[in-house]
Structure 1
Amino acid sequence: MKFDAIIIGTGQAGPSLANSLANNGYKTAVIEKGHLGGTCVNVGCTPTKAYVASARRAYIASNSEDLGVSIEGSIKIDLKKIKARKDEMIKDSREGLEGMFTNNENITLIRGKASFVDNNTVEVEGKRYESDKIYINVGGRARIPEGFENVNYLTNTSILELEEIPKHLVIVGGGYIGMEFAQVFKRFGSKVSILESGDQLLKREDDDIAEEIAEILKDSGIEVLLNSQCIEAEKDKDGIKVNYNCEVGEKSLDASHLLLATGRIPNTDDLGLENTDIEVDERGFIKVDNELKTTSDNVWALGDCNGEGAFTHTAYNDFQIVNSHLFEERKRYLSDRFTCYAAFIDPPIARVGMNEKEIKAKGIKAKVAVRPMSKIARAKEMGETKGKLKIFIESESNKILGATFLGTGADEYIHTVIDQMYAGAPYSIMRDAIHIHPTISELIPTMLENPIDIE
């Protein structure tokens, strides 16, 4: 069968692109081997942030005495009800996508696994489909390291299917996914231990930010074990025995449940790319140019599989880039994008652009403005004073290079800085602005009054 366009995968970029193509008259095939919606809808943003919300309610209910609010009796966690709420939200999203595909006469939804036959042809369940425009949107999955073959480990997908609270959850990996689940299940009532092979959590972040996050987790009762090398696991009569630090005298943890949060890999290894001109890098990510075109002239790669951002918002921006070159007068490019993201621990950490570690590595002459949350009136009034705000400024141009915010509401007011960076304006514009009192973001202009040089 011949189509004007073929889209493989229905993550954040795929459905939006399919809808645009179809509305512009393209006969479009959408191929999906699993649930509609990709990572975000099924095992990422939607379900995990639903769990984060439940965990925060439990935390507030148990930790409000300092603000004069006491609750008599115990706080009970019903994980089955939390899971059912999550499942209903996922169901609504899937059904919405199903309706969008089936109600558009220019879209054909094909169920099954796609594999390339050549640059213009894919095969699904023995049937072949051809197009001069193919868009890959296959996402990624959890990376499983060696040493866990003989135990029933959890991933970010399977942990969302639990209906009983783990007695002792051991998490291997100190990244963003591990941090979120650690805090969630601690607040649900689990004992939680984190094993991280490096010398800090969240290795992308500045040392002071990582140290503060570690203290926040430790203060909540989470065990954080850094520099934990040679991690492996074996079955134990009562669950799972997790061994670590074998070179300096083996240590172990007795876990009821084990979560592997050791990064993600792209779903590109079984696409039949060897039958095409499409190249991947050493990690398996599909190589793309500034317009997200692959090394095959008629194939584009969007979302997590291209290695240019592992977030829902970057995947949607990938759609915007591709769509602009198809149908819009204004053209978008990958190089236009500032990297930005958040980890939804409590308080959240939010980032845009460069941090101090990256600025020093590139030898850029820059300044930094810093404000601890403990010096912000609104944070004190809320009783949430953990964290700090950091904004980085290029000394020569006075433009903002990036920001790292750790604190209550950081995932929202980081956008003040993001918008300023896209405007390309000097930091003095924000410094001289008037913000509403009492808010966290009102201190952003104040903190910019006296930035200091980065040594």
Structure 2
Amino acid sequence: MLTFDLIVVGTGSAGATVAQTAREAGKSVAIIDKLPFGGTCSQRGCDPKKVLVGAAEIVARSEQLTDKGITKPTTVNWADLMRFKKTFTSPIPERTQTKFSDLGIQTFHGSASFLSASTIRVGEDELTAKHIVLATGLRPQLLNIPGEELLIDSTGFLELPELPANIVMVGGGYIAFEFAHIAARAGANVTILHQGQRPLEGFDADLVKLLVKAMESIGIHVVLGAKVIAVQGNPDKQTVWYEQNEKEHTVLANVVVHAAGRIADVAELNLEKAGIRVGKKGVTVNEYLQSVSNPGVYACGDVADKGLPLTPLASYEGRIVAGNILNGNNRVYEDTPVPTAVFTIPTLASVGLTEEQAKEKGLKIKVTFQETSDWYSSRRINESFTAFKTIVDAQTDQILGAHLLGTGSEEVINLFTLAIKHQITAKDLRNTLLAYPTHGSDLSSMLPED
């Protein structure tokens, strides 16, 4: 039996933050991961995805400006792009392992499972600690359909050695939309099958409708109300069966990507042996991010049932957990405005309340919505599908929410986040001088006049 002050399961942003902070405070720390060290975002998620998005953006811009100074659209060499992507992802496991070792954190590779409330087994080793932190992230949820084994997940898509000619995305969230844009701009035929009537449900409905139009304009086929019921074929050619309007339909694919939601990655942990409660969103925690049923266990990042599954939020939660373990429970999880972006082309970005949420709260609001393809910032790059919607409290002039569609939205949304967090009024933000011509300089035109 190996004894530590702290055991951390998971080496992504949340887990690494806790482990490093505790070790720097002099605690003995063990960290475990069944996957290559470094977490999802940096190796199998947001970072490598954004590398691919960068190439897709170049294709999109060249297509938009063809015959407007650009002679012909550029194309993607998928194999070269994958090699470039690997220059970011391949060094991460060794780099992470070295960092942990240099700090004196003891590392363990393998699947962790609880033996008791304070004891974990990994491989042949048994570890015990006063505090255990779960930061295992998410995994794709089972679809429970015949032929499910033929699907690849987001990790598989990011490792494709060649781009298939025909791709089906099952799902209507971030992953499906972003990967659809990457694949389509690289030359694939892409179909999205989404079970619901509204994709990207957490985002503003008006902007999502416009984004779907943008996708359809480049040949992406978005099918709503489509419940996938089976996949047949072999790894190189599949037939996807789906129900829509009580009728069965099929679509052919060379690759089918599971992008229909993720759940907490806890199946192998044997949480019942530690008395740890799990809900639909993940490990059930209190305001201190402490398990409600086992006070020796904390959870942070995507595996906990707080907040959105975003990397900055995972790091934030990791800092809370580390502080509470080192100093006693003296820091609570607080809701804070968290901007988020869907890296489609154009980008969809959001922070704060949607119009629907504000109305559900009974707030008196000013809603400003406009399509902006005729604005200079859109016209200069010939971008056809751009828009914004802002929600402002009619009584206090506080900005409650901002929703943007267009190039640069992922940066402009950060300005709105600062305004919401620090309670800068719409009037003060509108009257702030910003560099021109920039996407940020459009901000003053997105807010209501007095």
Q: Which residue of 2 aligns with 1:114?
A: 112
The answer (yes or no) to whether the contact 1:242–1:255 under 8 Å persists in 2 is: yes
Secondary structure at the aligned position of 1:233 is classed as strand
Q: CA deviation at 1:236?
A: 7.0
Amino acid at match of 1:339: V
Measured against aligned partners, the alpha-carbon deviations of 1:283-329 in whole angstroms (never above 9, x if no partner) come to: 26101112211122121101110132211111011112223435689
Query: What CA deviation, in whole Å up to 9, does each residue of 1:194-214 have, x standing for no partner?
Result: 111212221222321121011
Residue in structure 2 matched with residue 163 of structure 1 by the alignment: 161
**Mapping of residues 409-420 of structure 1, within 5 Å:** 409-420=408-419
Q: 2 CA distance for matches of 1:449 and 1:150?
A: 49
Kept after mapping to 2: 8 A contact 1:144/1:260: no
Deviation at 1:394, TM superposition (A): 2.0
The question of whether the paired residues in 2 share the 8 Å contact of 1:144 and 1:262 is answered with no
Q: 1:424 to 1:87 in 2, by over 3 A?
A: same
Equivalent position of 1:272 in the other structure? 270
Residues 53/148 of structure 1: CA separation in 2 closer, same or farther (3 Å cut): farther
What one-letter code is carried by the residue in structure 1 that aligns with 2:260? T
Q: 1:55-97 CA distances to partner (integer Å, 9 max, x unpaired)?
A: 22233344422431114xx855322221122222112222221
Greater than 4 Å deviation, 4+ residue runs: 326-332
Cα offset, 1:164, TM superposition: 1.6
Relative to structure 1, the CA distance from residue 150 to residue 406 in structure 2 (aligned partners, 3 Å threshold; closer, same or farther) is closer
Q: Report if the CA contact (8 A) 2:58-2:74 is conserved.
A: no
* Mapped contact 2:137–2:264 kept (Cα < 8 A): yes
Q: Which residue of 2 aligns with 1:285?
A: 282
Which of the numbers 287, 291, 303 marks the counterpart of 2:301?
303
Identity of aligned residues (%): 28
Count of residues in correspondence between the two structures: 447
In structure 1, the residue matched to 2:101 is 102
Q: In the alignment, residue 176 of structure 1 is paired with which amino acid?
A: Y
What is the DSSP-based 3-state SS (H/G/I as helix, E as strand, rest coil) of the residue aligned with 1:285? coil
- Distance (whole Å) between structure 2 residues aligned to residue 134 and residue 216 of structure 1: 46
Relative distance call for 1:238 and 1:319 in structure 2 (3 A) is closer
Contact 1:170 1:258 in 2 (8 A): yes
Letter in 2 for 1:85: F
- For the 8 Å contact 2:168–2:253, the answer to whether it is kept is yes
- Between the aligned partners of 1:174 and 1:290, the Cα distance in structure 2 is 31
Please give the alpha-carbon distance, in whole angstroms, between the structure 1 residues aligned to 2:332 and 2:347.
29
Q: Secondary structure at the match of 1:29?
A: strand
Change (3 A) 1:328 1:351: farther
Q: What's 1:313 paired with?
A: 312
3-state secondary structure, aligned to 2:380: helix
Match of 1:240 among 234, 238, 241: 238
**Conservation of the 8 A alpha-carbon contact between 2:64 and 2:381:** no
Answer whether contact 2:239 2:253 (CA < 8 A) is retained: yes
What's 2:138 paired with? Answer: 140
> 1:251 matched to which residue of 2?
249
1:412 maps to amino acid = E
Partner of 2:36: 35
Q: 2:11·2:31 contact (CA, 8 Å) conserved in 1? A: yes
CA distance in 2, matches of 1:398, 1:56: 36
Q: Is the 8 A contact 1:135 1:302 kept in 2?
A: yes
Q: Deviations over 1:169-208 (max 9, x none)?
A: 0111111100011111111111111111212221222321
Give the conservation status (yes or no) of the 8 Å contact 2:324–2:330: yes
Distance change (3 Å), C-alpha of 1:422 and 1:210: same
Question: RMSD of the alignment, in Å?
Answer: 2.2
Distance 1:237 1:34 in 2: 24
- Aligned residue for 2:261? 263
Q: Sort the Cα spacing of 1:249 and 1:446 in 2 relative to 1 into closer, same or farther, 3 A.
A: closer
Shift in Å, 1:346: 1.0
Kept after mapping to 2: 8 A contact 1:266/1:305: yes
Residues 445, 62 of structure 1: CA spacing in aligned structure 2 closer, same or farther, 3 A cutoff? closer
The answer to whether the 8 Å contact 2:352/2:402 transfers is: yes
Partner of 1:449: 448
Question: What code does the residue aligned with 2:411 have?
Answer: E
- Measured after TM superposition, the shift of residue 335 of structure 1 is 1.9
Name the structure 1 match of 2:388: 389
Cα distance in structure 2, aligned partners of 1:418 and 1:329: 31
Please say if residues 151 and 240 of structure 1, whose CA atoms lie closer than 8 Å, have aligned partners that are also in contact. no
Shift of 1:360: 2.2
User: Secondary structure at the residue paired with 1:334?
Assistant: coil
Say if 2:111 and 2:268, in contact at 8 Å, map to a contact too. Answer: no
Which residue of 2 is the match for residue 51 of structure 1? 52
Residue matched to 2:439 = 440
